[in-house]
Amino acid sequence: MRESLNQLFNDTVEAMSSAHTCAADAAALLGLLGRRPRVLALGEPTHGVAELLALRNDLFRDLVEHEGYRTIAVESDCVAGLLVDDHVTSGAGDLDDVVARGFSHEWGAHAGNRALVEWMRAHNQGRPAVEQVRFAGVDGPLEITTAASPRATLTALHTFLAARLDAPLLPCTAAEIDTLVGDDARWTEPAAMYDPARSVGRTPDAQALRLLADDLIDLLDAWSPGLRAASSRDEWDRARLHGRAAVGLLRYHSWMADTSPARIARLLGVRDAMMAGNVLAGADRGPVLVFAHNAHLQRDQSSMRMGGAPVSWWSAGAIVDTRLGDDYAFVHTAVGTIPAHGVAAPAGDTVEGRLSALGANRVLADPRAFDPAGPARRSPWFGYAPLDPAHLPRIDGVAFVRDCTLSSGTPAP
């Protein structure tokens, strides 16, 4: 078995020594996958590295221009992302403001994200709506230590329904939502991440809001034929997005108030379930390109250590894969060095070491060329997660960047 794997790797080396050394090549990638999946996910092993954003931009541009993908979705706030989508499709808003407010986690400061928005706007100018590429955030309105107030999302959903349905059908008024939400600051209290007692998520007001959110979503579904007929596709999709975000936020806040050992695992699971819902909604419109951390896109169960204790959950990619099967593809991105964070050249017997030995700075590799039982790389920096060889059988492709010398910002957790 090992001999056949080594032969396959040698064949891969020979192929990569020819023209196919650049991973930013749509034809080579789809050739490796052997299909054109409805959702093509490109992971990253760390956030905020310029070379990884450049790889994403080059590859996604090629896939949009030559393979018909029409949505680019990134690991960023799905509600804030509507600002970016409006800009790239219509030119609405000032670019500086759109980039600053349209990306969460302070990722608007990364040059690669600004370049992506600029290219999408330039690509769309003069094109009919059906040919334009859309932008989407797939994350919830969350940060590592806080979650947004549910006011904006609940109010947006209520406004959509109130404009199209008779008032007696609605479970509440907008004023009642405002009263129950109260001061937004109590929802965004940073200390709640570390002290469940500081969370508002299981107060009587929060419980009442969860019931109202459920009723509003039920109304959206039950009256969907008439609502859809009375709305544009964008209005309908945004109402559904606000509904998903509102329900997800209220679930997230509820688990922030939990005191059981399952608290962190449930928070991580709620977040990835929200991400999966956003990816699947995008896929309803057509082929989608997704960019997020490998841990959010892999088919294997994700895991990490928090407070010294292990915690595991199922990623958005694993959830989407159970729904779409072969219409989902995951390309794991790995790196050789990140000198700014002390990540030196990998050992030669690791996957990263063997790819680094090819000498090219960008490589697209077949995961079947490597032994899943081979040695795993260890990272000296908590912000970088090396490829786990045990995951190789459930990865569709490996994109490798040999040297990541430039950081375009401080990576977010």
7-44 pLDDT, tens digit each: 554 555 554 443 234 556 899 999 999 999 999 999 99
- The whole-number pLDDT of residue 112 equals 95
- Structure token pair of residue 84: 């970016």
260: CB partners within 8 A, 6+ apart = none
- The whole-number pLDDT of residue 25 equals 84
- The whole-number pLDDT of residue 24 equals 63
Torsion angle of the four alpha carbons 389, 394, 399, 405, in this order, in degrees rounded to the nearest 10: -50
- The whole-number pLDDT of residue 406 equals 61
- The whole-number pLDDT of residue 307 equals 75
Whole-angstrom Cα distance, residue 242 to residue 230?
18
pLDDT tens track for 46-87: 999 999 999 999 999 999 999 999 999 999 999 999 999 999
> Does 409 score more than 80 pLDDT?
no
> Does 5 score more than 70 pLDDT?
no
Beta carbons of 152 and 243 less than 8 angstroms apart: no
The dihedrals phi and psi of 63, each to the nearest 5 degrees, come to -70, -35
Beta carbons of 139 and 104 less than 8 angstroms apart: yes
Instruction: Tell me what the mean pLDDT of segment 299-327 comes to.
Output: 94
pTM of the model: 0.93
Mean residue pLDDT of the chain comes to 92
276: CB partners within 8 A, 6+ apart = 316, 317, 319, 320
Instruction: Tell me what the mean pLDDT of segment 368-388 comes to.
Output: 94
pLDDT band at 3; cut points 50, 70, 90? low
The radius of gyration of the chain's CA atoms, rounded to the nearest angstrom, is: 22
- Which of the two residues, 6 and 412, has the higher pLDDT score? 6
Instruction: Tell me what the mean pLDDT of segment 277-301 comes to.
Output: 97
- The whole-number pLDDT of residue 22 equals 52
- The whole-number pLDDT of residue 408 equals 56
DSSP letters, 62-78, are HHHHHH---EEEEEEET
pLDDT tens track for 191-217: 999 999 999 999 999 999 999 999 999
Beta carbons of 298 and 312 less than 8 angstroms apart: no
User: Tokens 């419109």 identify what position?
Assistant: 285
Instruction: Tell me what the mean pLDDT of segment 115-136 comes to.
Output: 97
- The whole-number pLDDT of residue 18 equals 39
Whole-angstrom Cα distance, residue 280 to residue 296?
14
Whole-angstrom Cα distance, residue 120 to residue 134?
8
Whole-angstrom Cα distance, residue 387 to residue 376?
7
